[in-house]
Amino acid sequence: MIERRTDWLVLLAIIAVCIISFGILIPTLGFYQDDWHEVFFAFQHGEKGLQQLFLYDNRPFAAYYYFIAFSILGFKPIAWHIWILILRCLTILVFWKVIKLIWLDMKWNAAFMVWR
């Protein structure tokens, strides 16, 4: 029972730190300098434009991710920043779970490892 409560506390702490660290500024953020070429090619040329852009950029399969992401998230920066915040939280949670699997008897050490 205590282990389950510890897991919930660590989970809530990770989410809270992510929101405090990154989420507070989301309403004031926009697209950045290196984002504009993806936005332009997706908006002006669609899927073919993204494929051509990433072919020249040596990442041809990235076009499929961006095409799906633009289809779901659209062209609003706030949606993209919320998506990235979710991905950051998920990355930390996966790291924490992997550390817990490696160190079976050291649950608190795994929790503290996330914060380092």
The two structure tokens encoding residue 83: 């998506």
The least confident of 27-31, 47-51, 79-83, 112-116 is 112-116
Q: What's the distance, CA 20 to chain centroid? A: 15
Model confidence over 37-76: pLDDT tens digits? 788 888 888 888 888 888 887 788 888 888 888 889 888 8
Q: Which residue, chain included where needed, has tokens 């930390």?
A: 92
Smallest Cα–Cα separation from 59: which of 80, 75, 38? Answer: 38
Q: How far apart are CA 113 and CA 31, in angstroms?
A: 33
* Domain segments of the chain as ranges: 2-25+33-114
Q: How many CA atoms lie within 13 A of 104 on its CB side?
A: 0
Say if CB 73 and CB 63 are below 8 A apart.
no
